[in-house]
Structure 1
Amino acid sequence: MSQTAIITGITGQDGSYLAEFLLDKGYRVVGVVRRSSAPNLWRIEHLLDRVELRSADLLDQLSLVRLMDEVRPDEFYNLAAMSFVPASWDTPLLTGEFNSQGVTRVLEAIRHVKPDTRMYQASSSEMYGKVRAVPQSEDTPFHPRSPYGVSKVFGHYITVNYRESYGMFACSGILFNHESPRRGLEFVTRKVTDGVARIKLGLADSLPLGNLDARRDWGFAGDYIKAMWLMLQQATPDDYVVATGETHPVRELVEIAFGHVGLDWERYVKVDARFLRPAEVDLLIGDPTKARTQLGWTPDVDFPALVKMMVEADVARLEKAAVPAQPLA
């Protein structure tokens, strides 16, 4: 019989790639969506005839219990979160409700309804914050520098606590930055590639950015979801850093993106203080040794290929949007 998986955050970048991956493996995929007057389904439109969508909310314990009771999943991937780091300063309490107590509600629903369900929790490299060691591994202490990072530390440790207290198969993936053409426009990678595409097509004449020297360990989201699945196929649950092990400054991202369309980035990029963080995370670089040796996971897409993929996708999207509709025959 095929496996059944629940994915919270299925309409997000990671959720859409994970849904594709699991469907290709023959899973029954149930995606969780919040009730909304304006559904945001563009990332999974091509999957709507293959996935089941159910209403539930990380803020509502009873909805999660009902979901677990109706679906009885083999695996539960908790990818839903308030995920835009800068916005967490504006909504710190709501960020905590989703990213901290929301995880607890998922764990409680699993524990009471079907405790043999294997659970994946999406942790984050932002938990390291003011880094204590370079590169960062599973044993590096956390020092988060944003309400988002703080909330993710709680979600991480409550997952560890339920694993150790109740014997649940609960894993956390400490994912470093992972990007794709499906990344939201508010994130710096998509902001850059979308801005490059607009400048190339004559739709904009400048690109305002924040700290060009901030460095990140960027990989392709389509590679990272494979690591999530591999964690839940192991004999025992554990936590893993998922990263490329390479770091790149925002400046290099900009250079590759503009260079790919034949433009000089220095003519168009303007540093804008509005986009500087109150507390910057200067150097995040993951040590994926454990994921490589225990899971057999390695990324396939390197950084230049990722940036070029995203630029090409944004150029194609904007060109398509500019084509006038053809009259009906």
Structure 2
Amino acid sequence: MKIALICGVSGQDGAYLAKLLLDKGYQVYGGSRDAQMASFNNLSRLGIRQDVKLVSISINDFRSVLQTILKVKPDEIYNLAGQSSVGLSFEQPVETLESISIGTLNLLEAIRFSNLPIKFYNAGSSECFGDTGKLAADELTPFRPRSPYGVAKAAAFWQVANYREAYQIQASTGILFNHESPLRPERFVTQKIVMAASRIAAGSKETLILGNIDIARDWGWAPDYVEAMWLMLQKEKADDYVIATGETNKLRDFIRVVFETLDLNWQEHVRTDPAFFRPTDIAEGHANPTKANHQLGWNARYTMDDIGRLMVEARRVK
């Protein structure tokens, strides 16, 4: 039985990945800063709360990381921890850089120090690319991040590449474009839209206030994307991969799909406010996932229209 350690198991991706690995017969350890106090609601929502062995680990603390690795002796480590909101990173740049960059470095150094044959997955981000215009970013596209979050993820990416080359650690980064699900917290704009539209459909008289709705992104389905993470660590040679649908849509299109699914006209319920605009933002995000398609045999099964409808349906069931 393979053993996996998921750092950041309480988040959207951590929960879906834990379920995937459990279904594949893994023994799954879930790391959290305080495993006794954390709620792990996402694990409960997926019905796997009792199946994941929870451990307390602070990835900003090297000793904590090393002790956990020596105790668990995992075959695979998935680093999904750290501050995960681009918007919040402008308000908390130091916390963002430390939790992502220093946390990743501690994990890599602890793997090196342990001398265990551990395969390592690092959660990268399309935010590293910045604004590429109409260019579909692939693994060779230069990084020009436009947020503290993107800067931190870019630093972590190069740390992984350095440890792979310098110490032959089997470490890979998945450069994931936006991916959503019903497990997203409301601070993410897609869930904010779904929850507000659902309340309006139920009779609320509120108006949904958003920032720039003309931004364009490649939106995918989170359960698809965690499968790509697992596939990366099954390869004999570690490498980095862009994970995306290859289809880009404007945020206003996502809004339209969500409201139409609820038989509403979004233009009657939504307005924009420049106060919600970010200091710097990416106008468009385009992706080229060809390498993952060919080398991993991975393809996104759902695109933006599907995701809007699936998130609305999840609210209806709830």
For Structure 1 versus Structure 2, the TM-score category normalised by the shorter chain is over 0.9
Residue in structure 2 matched with residue 286 of structure 1 by the alignment: 287
TM-score by length of 1: 0.94
Residue of structure 2 in register with 1:34 after alignment: 33
| 5+ residue gaps, structure 2 | none
* Aligned CA-pair RMSD: 1.2
The 8 Å contact of residues 19 and 29 in structure 1, kept in 2 or not, is answered as yes
* Aligned residue in 2 for 1:320: none
Counterpart-to-counterpart distance in 1, 2:197 and 2:272? 15
Matched-pair contact (CA < 8 Å) for 1:75–1:118: yes
Structure 1 residue 235 displacement after superposition: 1.3
Between the aligned partners of 1:285 and 1:303, the Cα distance in structure 2 is 13
Report the residue type matching 2:89 in the other structure: S
Residue 140 of structure 1 deviates from its aligned partner by: 0.3
Shift of 1:306: 1.0
CA contact 2:128–2:144 (8 Å) conserved in 1: yes
Distance 1:308 1:177 in 2: 16
Matched with 1:43 is 42
Q: Deviations over 1:204-249 (max 9, x none)?
A: 4211111110000000000000100000001100000000000010
CA shift for structure 1 position 90: 1.0
Which residue number in structure 1 is paired with residue 210 of structure 2?
209
The 3 A distance-change label for structure 1 pair 172 and 204 is farther
Identity of aligned residues (%): 43
Deviation, structure 1 residue 316? 3.3
Q: Which amino acid aligns with 2:109?
A: E
Structure 1: distance between partners of 2:305 and 2:133: 28
Shift of 1:275: 1.4
Residues 252-277 of structure 1, C-alpha deviations (whole Å, 9 max, x = no match): 00100000111010010010122111
Residue identity opposite 2:121 in structure 1: Y
User: How far has the Cα of 1:130 moved from its partner?
Assistant: 2.4
Q: TM-score, normalised by structure 2?
A: 0.97
- List runs of 5+ in structure 1 lacking aligned partners: 318-329
Query: CA shift at 1:132, angstroms?
Result: 6.6
What SS does the corresponding residue of 1:280 show, helix, strand or coil? Answer: coil
How many equivalent residue pairs? 316
Distance in 2 between the 1:290 and 1:138 partners? Answer: 8
What's the counterpart of residue 93 of structure 2? 92
Deviation of 1:81 (Å): 1.5
For each residue in 1:47-75, what CA deviation from the matched residue of structure 2 results, as whole angstroms up to 9, or x when unmatched?
12211000001111111001000000000
SS at match of 1:54: strand
2:23 paired residue number = 24
Distance 1:177 1:107 in 2: 25
Q: Residues 145-224 of structure 1: matches in 2 within 5 Å?
A: 145-224=146-225
Specify the alignment match of 1:321 in structure 2. Answer: none
Q: Equivalent residue for 2:73?
A: 72
Aligned position for 2:254: 253
- Contact residue 193 and residue 258 of structure 2 kept, 8 A: yes
How far 1:133 moved relative to its partner? 6.4
CA distance in 2, matches of 1:100, 1:115: 22
Counterpart for residue 322 of structure 1: none
Q: Return closer, same or farther for 1:204/1:65 CA change in 2, 3 Å cut-off.
A: farther
* 1:10 paired residue number: 9
Cα distance in 2, alignment partners of residues 121 and 159 from structure 1: 8
- Deviations for 1:25-45, whole angstroms, at most 9, x for unmatched residues? 000000001127852311001
1:267 aligns with 2:268: yes
Checking the alignment, whether the CA contact within 8 Å between 2:73 and 2:116 is kept in structure 1 is: no
Whether the 8 Å contact between 1:198 and 1:315 is mirrored in structure 2 is no
Give the secondary-structure state (helix, strand or coil) at the position aligned to 1:143.
Answer: coil
Report the Cα distance in structure 1 between the residues aligned to 2:281 and 2:125, rounded to whole angstroms.
16
Query: What displacement does 1:280 show?
Result: 1.3
Q: Judge conservation of contact 2:120–2:233 (CA < 8 Å) in 1.
A: yes
SS at match of 2:175: strand
CA distance 1:143–1:199, change in 2 (3 Å):
same
CA 1:37/1:204 → structure 2, altered by over 3 Å: closer, same or farther?
Answer: farther
SS at match of 1:89: helix
Distance in 2 of aligned mates of 1:226 and 1:9: 16
| Range moving further from structure 2, 299-308 or 118-127 | 299-308
Q: Which one-letter code corresponds to 2:201 in the other structure?
A: K
1:298 paired to 2:303? no
Corresponding residue SS for 2:271? strand
